[in-house]
Amino acid sequence: MAALSKIAAGNGHGENSPYFDGWKAYETNPFHPTDRPEGVIQMGLAENQLCFDFIKKWLMKHPEASLCTAEGVNKFKETALFQDYHGMPEFRQAIAKFMGKVRGDRVKFDPDRIVMSGGATGAHEMVTFCLADPGEAFLVPTPYYPGFDRDLRWRTGVELVPVICESSNNFKITRNALEAAYEKAQEDNIRVKGLLITNPSNPLGTILDRETLKSIVSFINEKNIHLIGDEIYAATVFMEPEFVSISEIIEEVECNRDLIHIVYSLSKDMGFPGFRVGIVYSYNDALVSCTRKMSSFGLVSSQTQHLIASMLSDDDFVDNFIIKSKKKLFKRHEYFTWSLSQVGIGSLKSNAGLFIWMDLRKLLKAKTFEAEMDLWQVIIHEVKLNVSPGSSFHCHEPGWFRVCFANMDDDTMETALLRIRDFMRKNNAAMIPHNKLCRRSSLKLSFSRRVDDFMSPGIMSPHSPLPQSPLVRARS
């Protein structure tokens, strides 16, 4: 049999990672409440399933948005025929407007700079391909999404140089850390072509503040390297402080805008990963032109463009969706982190994303990544929860795990929490209260409560419980 190409047969896909091994464990034994109640619960998938009831209602009221209905079939032919790789004008206009709304309408986006791709995966690869040659590198602050090792490296030959961030300052990106990574690359004779930041962060669930973003723009401007801002979780910020986009920062500071690029998608903010709607938005004319040509390899289907254009052009729907999504994410996050605190588990304080950065350092038998993997094996195969170990995110310190909380219904979440409670009891890792974990349905969380009650910096310690208001009252 003829051999595959070296690139195809190599390990550049990055799937030799516990992150993907956890998915495989789930796929071979997926949890189902009745058919497979002892199966693995998927907590490694960052997916937003909390607003589909609201989306479904809109679809029922607007059958014309679908080409496969009596109301929409008249547009079937014109949509099914050839579409160029620019994308439908109404689709690009709707995406540009939605991006602005997600950012509080503090900045406007030009529809002519919207370039579509097959999800954020395709968007990242296109940008990387256009900006760097094989052997050149991008700086990436740790911890970072494991898929970047595939998306940015596999077919481009580009390297990733970690910017080491530490728990001692809540994994903030500092100028010193950026300089250290840049100097290390130079010492290794690696040419740095850019910096990739994820804001809000995956896996931390935190956002970059305005001063940090200004420092980052100053850094890339001084080094004359590109900045890619992955902002695919922009609408998941459910609590103050509000999200600040790199597009806002460049309005406030002097910089070479040709160096600024944004990757966006609807997979996280809208919960539509199956639609494969990825976006490149660049302030660099040459990059816009190049990525638009490359988008032929991963276009968004015209049927999807038609539906998304119809949905996102409805201002009332978009405004209400953003509000409802924030409320639901806030409630789920607060209940989930509070429930973990009741069994002695802390997490990094966060206000965005579809996950938490869970702190299990005290459960390690040793402060090593080998001990982290041992603990992860127990969680996967005995507790039967697919959570992702920090080492798969290139975290510099062992004992951290990413846990997704928005990709399941309430009952599945309760089952997962019960398994965690039993695991902690068996390991005598914490003093477990005798009363049962309260049901989510008994919680009366008000989204209008003072959010700054939750925003003191640092780790959510089980020894410093959440403020005694709705949560504690709900237990009685």
270 shares a domain with 394: no
pLDDT reading at 474 higher than 50:
no
Check residue 306 and give its pLDDT: 84
- Side-chain half-sphere of 340: how many Cα atoms within 13 Å? 22
Residue 444, domain member (yes or no): no
Residue 314 confidence class, pLDDT cut points 50, 70, 90: very high
Check residue 32 and give its pLDDT: 94
Residue 470, domain member (yes or no): no
Average model confidence (pLDDT) for the chain?
86
| Joined tokens for residue 242 | 């509000």
pLDDT reading at 436 higher than 50:
no
Q: Is 222 exposed, middle or buried (0-12, 13-18, 19+ CB in 10 A)?
A: exposed
Residue 462, domain member (yes or no): no
143 to 170, 180, 206, 385: CA distances (angstroms)? 11, 16, 12, 21
pLDDT reading at 467 higher than 80:
no
CATH for 212: 3.40.640.10
235 shares a domain with 152: yes
Closest by alpha carbon to 249, among 295, 216, 286? 216
How far apart, in whole angstroms, are the C-alpha atoms of residue 224 and residue 189?
17
Question: Does 200 sit behind a cis peptide bond, omega within 30 degrees of 0 on the bond before it?
Answer: yes
Residue 442 confidence class, pLDDT cut points 50, 70, 90: very low
pLDDT reading at 441 higher than 50:
no
Lowest mean pLDDT of 166-170, 295-299, 379-383, 445-449, name the range.
445-449
Check residue 431 and give its pLDDT: 42
200 shares a domain with 171: yes
Q: State the maximum Cα–Cα separation within the chain, in Å, rounded to a whole number.
A: 68
Q: Which residues of 296-311 are buried (b: 16+ CB within 10 A; e: fewer)?
A: eebbbebbbbbbbbbb
341 shares a domain with 275: no
Residue 368, domain member (yes or no): yes
pLDDT tens-digit series, residues 359-408: 999 999 999 999 999 999 999 999 999 999 999 999 999 999 999 999 99
Lowest mean pLDDT of 8-12, 27-31, 357-361, 394-398, name the range.
8-12
* Residue for token pair 């596999």: 154
371 shares a domain with 337: yes
CATH for 393: 3.90.1150.10
Check residue 73 and give its pLDDT: 67
- Beta strands 226-230 and 260-265 are parallel
* 251 conformational bin, left if phi > 0, alpha if psi -120 to 50, beta if neither: alpha
Q: Which amino acid is at 233?
A: Y
Domain that holds residue 346: 18-52+319-427
Check residue 82 and give its pLDDT: 63
Residue 266, domain member (yes or no): yes
Residue 291, domain member (yes or no): yes
177 shares a domain with 148: yes
Question: Does 273 sit behind a cis peptide bond, omega within 30 degrees of 0 on the bond before it?
Answer: no
Report how many domains make up the chain. Answer: 2
Check residue 465 and give its pLDDT: 36
283 shares a domain with 203: yes
332 shares a domain with 267: no
| Joined tokens for residue 295 | 């988008």
Contacts of 245 (CB under 8 A, 6+ apart): 103, 106, 107, 199, 229, 231, 234, 262
pLDDT tens-digit series, residues 228-254: 999 999 999 999 999 999 999 999 999
pLDDT tens-digit series, residues 337-356: 999 999 999 999 999 999 99
Q: Show which residues are catalytic.
A: 145, 230, 232, 268
How far apart, in whole angstroms, are the C-alpha atoms of residue 180 and residue 188?
12
Direct distance between the N- and C-terminal alpha carbons of the chain, in angstroms, rounded to an integer: 68
Residue 413 confidence class, pLDDT cut points 50, 70, 90: very high
Residue 77 confidence class, pLDDT cut points 50, 70, 90: low
Check residue 428 and give its pLDDT: 66
Q: Which amino acid is at 99?
A: M
Residue 421, domain member (yes or no): yes
Q: How many residues does the chain have?
A: 476
Check residue 293 and give its pLDDT: 87
Q: Which amino acid is at 274?
A: G
431 compared with 470, residue with greater pLDDT: 431
| Joined tokens for residue 7 | 């690139």
pLDDT reading at 326 higher than 50:
yes
pLDDT tens-digit series, residues 163-200: 999 999 999 999 999 999 999 999 999 999 999 999 99
Contacts of 81 (CB under 8 A, 6+ apart): none
pLDDT mean over 2-14 = 78
241 shares a domain with 333: no
pLDDT tens-digit series, residues 45-59: 999 999 989 989 988
- Side-chain half-sphere of 342: how many Cα atoms within 13 Å? 20
Check residue 20 and give its pLDDT: 79
Dihedral sign, Cα of residue 97, residue 102, residue 103, residue 105: positive
Q: What predicted TM-score, i.e. pTM, was given to this entire model?
A: 0.86
352 shares a domain with 304: no
421 shares a domain with 273: no
Helix (H) or strand (E) holding 193: strand 192-198
Asked which of 293, 313, 333 is the last residue of a domain, the reply is 313
93 shares a domain with 214: yes
